[in-house]
């Protein structure tokens, strides 16, 4: 994959490869991956047990949410 | 991974497809029978996403939603900017807004928001990760920033009818562009179910 968010580039003087950390839920686990600038796989950073122990049914029944949509509508630089 | 590396030869919930037309009737005077003034505008988005559950694809009917550009404001939040697909998952109250906004909340409001625990924010949207097939585009109002993320808005779901859609495996498969992974489809299903499953404040006991 080569498309990406190109804004988060390096600072002047940085010499390391810019990367992104992504957490992927997988069954009862969360896999933390390091992706390169083109979203290519670089490494598995961490494998941890998900702390969300609810069943799918319990998750769907949890209907509360963070009401923040309006905050993202009118933003201007 | 967000997408399936080897898509199946069937139409599935969450697939990115192309070649469909969408319409949304606009009624100036609802209530009159028949409506006296209305317009039907048809447009053909480059890509759309299948919103019908896998088991409900067929009988010449398909629910789809256009794949649209993300809101530029999302990038104001570093938690989102790092990976916009974070919007697809439950999150803490602090991660749901940018640091400056969080700092503006009073202690009481912070406590009230944190008491909800990890829940969805931006409930109407589901983000699609960048892919070679999805062209990057400049983010409006933010010079020099380009992104390959797209999203769907659950409020823009449309129904189309097509005689070629008989069953998931008897359908115009040439329209299929991308298939999301099992894990991504699970996230998609859970967020969509949560969107429709919210209980209005006035109905809470």
pLDDT digits (tens, 9 = 90+) for B32-82: 777 678 899 999 999 999 999 998 999 999 999 999 999 999 999 999 999
The answer to whether the Cβ–Cβ distance between B130 and A3 falls below 8 Å is: yes
Ordered by start, the domain boundaries in chain B are 16-196
Q: What does the pLDDT read at residue B46?
A: 96
| Residue percentage of chain A with pLDDT more than 70 | 60
The answer to whether the Cβ–Cβ distance between B131 and A4 falls below 8 Å is: no
Q: What does the pLDDT read at residue B32?
A: 77
Cβ–Cβ under 8 Å, residues A46 and A33: no
Residue B163: pLDDT above 50? yes
Distance CA A13, CA A11 (A): 6
Q: A with B: how many residue pairs have Cβ under 8 Å apart?
A: 110
Confidence label for A3 from pLDDT (cuts 50, 70 and 90): very low
Residues in chain B within 8 Å Cβ distance of A2: 132
Chain A interface includes B203 (CB < 8 A): no
Tokens 């122990």 found at: A53
Q: What does the pLDDT read at residue B87?
A: 98
Chain A interface includes B140 (CB < 8 A): no
Distance CA A54, CA B144 (A): 42
Residues in chain A within 8 Å Cβ distance of B183: 24-26
The closest CB to that of B141, out of A24, A59, A77, belongs to A77
Distance CA A11, CA A14 (A): 6
- B98-143 pLDDT, tens digit each: 999 999 999 999 999 999 889 999 999 999 999 999 999 999 988 8
Is the ipTM reported for this complex over the cut 0.95?
no
Cβ–Cβ under 8 Å, residues B45 and B150: no
Cβ–Cβ under 8 Å, residues B67 and B153: no
- Mean pLDDT, residues A46-56 taken together: 79
């Amino acid at each position: 994959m080569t498309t990406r968010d190109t804004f988060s580039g390096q600072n002047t003087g940085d010499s390391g490869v810019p990367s992104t950390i992504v957490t992927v839920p997988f069954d009862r686990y969360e896999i933390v991956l390091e992706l390169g600038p083109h979203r290519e796989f670089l490494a598995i950073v961490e494998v941890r047990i998900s702390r969300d122990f609810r069943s799918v049914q319990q998750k769907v029944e949890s209907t509360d949410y963070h009401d923040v949509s309006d905050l993202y509508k009118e933003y201007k630089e | 991974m967000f997408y399936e590396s080897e898509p199946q030869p069937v139409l599935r919930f969450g697939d990115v497809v192309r070649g469909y037309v969408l319409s949304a009737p606009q009624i100036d005077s609802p209530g009159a029978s028949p409506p006296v003034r209305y317009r039907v505008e048809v447009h053909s988005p480059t890509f759309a996403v299948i919103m019908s559950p896998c088991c409900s694809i067929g009988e010449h009917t398909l629910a789809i939603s256009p794949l649209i550009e993300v809101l530029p404001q999302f990038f104001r939040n570093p938690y989102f900017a790092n990976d916009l697909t974070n919007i697809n998952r439950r999150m803490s109250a602090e991660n749901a807004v940018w640091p400056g906004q969080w700092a503006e909340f009073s202690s009481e409001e912070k406590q009230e928001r944190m008491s909800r625990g990890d829940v969805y924010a931006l409930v109407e949207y589901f983000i699609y990760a960048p892919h070679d097939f999805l062209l990057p585009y400049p983010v409006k109002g933010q010079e020099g920033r380009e992104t390959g993320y797209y999203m769907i808005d659950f409020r823009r779901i449309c129904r189309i009818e097509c005689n070629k859609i008989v069953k998931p495996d008897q359908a115009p498969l040439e329209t299929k562009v991308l298939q999301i992974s099992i894990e991504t489809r699970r996230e998609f299903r859970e967020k969509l179910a949560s969107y429709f499953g919210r209980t209005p404040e006035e109905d809470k006991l």
